[in-house]
Structure 1
Amino acid sequence: MEYKIIRLIDQPDLKEKAALWFHEKWEIPLDAYAQSMDECLACKGPVPQWYVALENERIIAGMGVIENDFHNRKDLAPNVCAVYTEEDRRCRGIAGSLLNYVCQDMKSRGIDTLYLITDHTSFYERYGWKFLCMVQGDGEEALSRMYIHES
């Protein structure tokens, strides 16, 4: 299996396909993804950014970097968000490759520290992320785990 990691800013024609893919995975409104991707393509700053892993023409994984991933700790920014790998492509290192790529890309843009929230335990540690604290999601009672990655 061969795949390539694509930055949306390098292949803007993927915007509609990527926005729909993320929307289908996370059930966040399609317009929210499209608007964030429009901001990415406008190149106004290092954030937001969007990335996908393509196998032929199929998106098999993706993630973004946004200011805040719907949590109460606005000071912990920017956030890696919408991390997803298609079920039939999991356990092959694709998410790890994407995480490493995103961290390196953000570092090249002057961002050495990234955050992400998740309910997973042990997965992100494999790729250099460290548990930081618990945070509350916007409009939610339950707490989620906040991780940090420093380059």
Structure 2
Amino acid sequence: MGEVILMIEIFDVRDKMEDLDEAIMVFWKQWGNQGNFKFYQDCIMNACHPSHDLPRFYIAVHNGTIIGTYALLRNDLISRQDLFPWLACLYIDLRFRGNNLGAQLLDHAARETEKLGMEKLYLCTDIDGYYEKKGWAFLTTGYMFNGEAAKIYEMAVDRKDKDNV
């Protein structure tokens, strides 16, 4: 059998305002908890202002349904405010995993970071093995506000114009 290619479109939420409420729900259901819906709503709604460079929230859409997310943030690890931007909220609906969609979102994030004129992208995670396979390099261990350790990864973003600056 041949490989099935799943077609998705990736949108900045601010470019798809008709899906804003659904996008907020998807982000919150995956990453939030019972007590912080307003946090996600406020953050995503305020990120939709056209003059803001960050944060940005992205959705992956398949057949009109949001099946994935990611965000670019100024900070995702309070103790490391010297590093930015951060990739956060990478998610693919369980029913669609195994179709290389996470890699598509990571590639999209790298292109968006490059468009913002930045040379590196960071993330923190407790996942082993996934990001290394996608070209990310372990940078160091960081610490959450509660003292828990988190692995920090970085990825260099290819900037074609860096020699012409």
1:105 equivalent to 2:112? Answer yes
How far the C-alpha of 1:63 sits from its partner, in A, is 0.6
How far, CA to CA, are the matches of 1:33 and 1:51 in structure 2? Answer: 13
How far, CA to CA, are the matches of 2:136 and 2:92 in structure 1? Answer: 18
How far, CA to CA, are the matches of 2:29 and 2:22 in structure 1? Answer: 11
Q: 2:67 aligns with which of 60, 63, 82?
A: 60
Residue 131 of structure 1 contacts residue 147 of structure 1 at CA under 8 Å; is this kept in 2?
yes
State the match for 1:15 in structure 2.
Answer: 20
Give the TM-score normalised by the residue count of structure 2: 0.84
Structure 1 vs Structure 2 CA RMSD? 1.5
State the match for 1:76 in structure 2.
Answer: 83
How far, CA to CA, are the matches of 2:106 and 2:18 in structure 1? Answer: 23
Residue 134 of structure 1 contacts residue 145 of structure 1 at CA under 8 Å; is this kept in 2?
yes
The equivalences for 1:63-142 within 5 A come to 63-138=70-145, 140-142=146-148
Residue 53 of structure 1 contacts residue 60 of structure 1 at CA under 8 Å; is this kept in 2?
yes
Residue 77 of structure 2 contacts residue 124 of structure 2 at CA under 8 Å; is this kept in 1?
no
How far the C-alpha of 1:127 sits from its partner, in A, is 2.1
How far, CA to CA, are the matches of 2:38 and 2:117 in structure 1? Answer: 28
State the match for 1:48 in structure 2.
Answer: 55
**Structure with larger Rg:** 2
Residue 32 of structure 2 contacts residue 40 of structure 2 at CA under 8 Å; is this kept in 1?
no
State the match for 2:151 in structure 1.
Answer: 145
How far the C-alpha of 1:72 sits from its partner, in A, is 1.4
Residue 46 of structure 1 contacts residue 106 of structure 1 at CA under 8 Å; is this kept in 2?
no
Q: Once the two structures are superposed, what CA deviation does each residue of 1:44-66 show, in whole Å capped at 9, x if it has no partner?
A: 33211111111112211101011
**Match of 1:36, SS?**
helix
**Match of 1:72, SS?**
helix
Residue 47 of structure 1 contacts residue 65 of structure 1 at CA under 8 Å; is this kept in 2?
yes
How far, CA to CA, are the matches of 1:60 and 1:91 in structure 2? Answer: 13
How far, CA to CA, are the matches of 1:88 and 1:49 in structure 2? Answer: 25
